[in-house]
Structure 1
Amino acid sequence: MAAPLRSQVLQLMRQDILAAEFKPGERLVEARLCALYEVSRTVIREVLRQLESEGLVTTVPNRGPVITELTAFEAKALFEVRCALEGLAGALFAERADAEQRKRLGEVVRWFSRSYCEADLAERLAMKDEFYSILTAGAVNPVIDSTLRGIHARVQMLRGLSMQAEGRGPETVRELEAIHEAAAVRGDADAARRACETHVRNAATTALRELAARHGDHQESKAD
């Protein structure tokens, strides 16, 4: 039962971090986490290691694990790289993807469109992960694939902020449909690149706005 238990706690804690149950920079005390999730220190330590690999937790010398606190500058830098890479991935998908990959991209976009409103944050992130998995596989470029995986891990919290923002859901659906239309249906590399870049830029605008608001709330709570 150990592995399923770790997976359950990992999912719960990931959702709590993305839902701002923990504050940026907050120290993660093992004893408190054990009591909160009703598991052993061994499970908590394994979960924290996984969350650190995803970029949600950072180990700070003399403090231990804390919730990752991205600055606006760091967030912008990550989105700039993500924009360039996803634009290239979309263009290459339009040129290289096979029929099955084009079909699967359409299926996941339709799934996202149907399910987005009722899905919780974890389900939304899972659907987006599947979308990117298909997109990068169809680009047939292992460097883009591995680099984007690292970028997506580091912007996971920012993706959570963007996807929870009011009004962002319908925009995301339209943007993914535009990527699918350009890359999978028409095979138009230039249009696919532009559609991917538009999606990332819009996500960046929303996430940076939400990040600023969250940091403002965090600073106020510290002052209180």
Structure 2
Amino acid sequence: MPERDLCQLTGVSRTLVREALRQLESEGLIEVIAHKGPVVSRITAAQAIGVYQVREVLEGLAAQLFAEHASVEDRQALHAAFTEVKRADAAAKRIALKNKFYECLVAGTGNEALGKTLYLLNARTMLLRAQSLQAPNRWNQSLKELEALVAALDERDAEKARSLAVNHVRRAAAAAMHTFSMDARQSKKQGSAA
């Protein structure tokens, strides 16, 4: 991604492109390699496992706190976001709407530190979410898991909500890790053919 090309493509100044690249680097989405410039980062299987381990804890806590503290308005916003998620028909739209769902979930926790911590993981979470949703039937299963979570949140069952949120993250992790395995097998095949 040469800066000059990015400036021409976006129609913005080199300063703005550099600032955007620094932000993307801080989020772990690109790496700047000496004498080569910025390149898109790839998440390794080990990094993915780490992200999912942290998400399990944080999203479980978010579900628990939402069940315990969310206002009527928070619950209405979550339901509206979930309705949008269910209607999403394209992969990019699904990811954006799931982000909105999680923003509503976190907003209803009343815990600013939790929101900021999850925000720091968000860039990698989006990449992994895109990867996990490629697994066969994952989207439909994900919707069922979120529906059960929303029901537990409506019941204000904090323990059940936490358990369902953790389970949802674990299933997403399994789907994403399966795609890592497929990538590794495909790389081996390509290496053998060469």
**TM-score higher than 0.5:** yes
Q: Residue in 2 aligned with 1:119?
A: 90
Amino acid at match of 2:91: D
- Give CA-to-partner distance per residue, 1:47-103, whole Å, 9 cap, x none: 534433443212234442122122211110111011100000100000000001111
Asked if structure 2 preserves the Cα contact closer than 8 Å seen for 1:90 and 1:135, the reply is yes
Structure 2 gaps of 5+ residues are: none
For structure 1, the 5+ residue unaligned runs are 1-27
Structure 2: how far apart are the matches of 1:80 and 1:179?
19
Aligned AA (1:57):
I
Which 10-residue stretch deviates more, 42-51 or 60-69?
42-51
CA offset at residue 179 of structure 1?
1.2
The two structures, once aligned, show a CA RMSD in angstroms of: 2.5
| Match status 1:90 vs 2:63 | yes
The answer to whether the aligner puts 1:163 opposite 2:133 as a matched pair is yes
Q: If the length of structure 2 is used for normalisation, what is the TM-score?
A: 0.85
Aligned: 1:210 with 2:183: no
- Whether 2:163 is the aligned partner of 1:194: answer yes
Q: After the TM superposition, which residues 174-189 of structure 1 pair with which residues of structure 2 at under 5 Å, given as runs?
A: 174-183=144-153, 185-189=154-158
Q: Distance in 2 between matches of 1:171 and 1:165?
A: 10
The one-character-per-residue Cα deviations of 1:100-147 (angstroms, maximum 9, x if unpaired) are 11111111112211x23x2232x1121011111111111111111100
Matches of 2:148 and 2:125 in 1, distance apart? 22
Note the 1:48-197 alignment, pairs <5 A. 48-113=21-86, 115-116=87-88, 118-121=89-92, 123-183=93-153, 185-197=154-166
TM-score, normalising length: structure 1 = 0.75
Counterpart AA for 1:100: E
CA distance in structure 1 between the partners assigned to 2:83 and 2:188 by the alignment: 40
**Which whole-Å CA distance do the structure 2 matches of 1:137 and 1:155 have between them?**
18
Contact 1:175 1:195 in 2 (8 A): yes
| Identical columns (%) | 36
Deviation of the 1:222 alpha carbon: 7.3
- Contact kept? 1:90, 1:196, Cα under 8 Å: yes
Number of residues of Structure 1 aligned to a counterpart in Structure 2: 192
* CA pair 199-32 structure 1, distance change in 2 beyond 3 A: same
SS of residue matched to 1:58: strand
Q: Which amino acid aligns with 2:33?
A: V
* Cα distance in 1 between the residues matched to 2:189 and 2:43: 17
Shift of 1:150: 0.8
Q: Distance in 1 between matches of 2:36 and 2:53?
A: 31
CA distance in 2, matches of 1:32, 1:110: 40
What's the secondary structure of 2:156's corresponding residue? coil
The answer to whether the 8 Å contact 2:78/2:105 transfers is yes
Counterpart of 2:95, as a letter, is L
User: Residue 165 of structure 2 aligns to a residue in which SS?
Assistant: helix
Match of 2:132, SS state, is helix
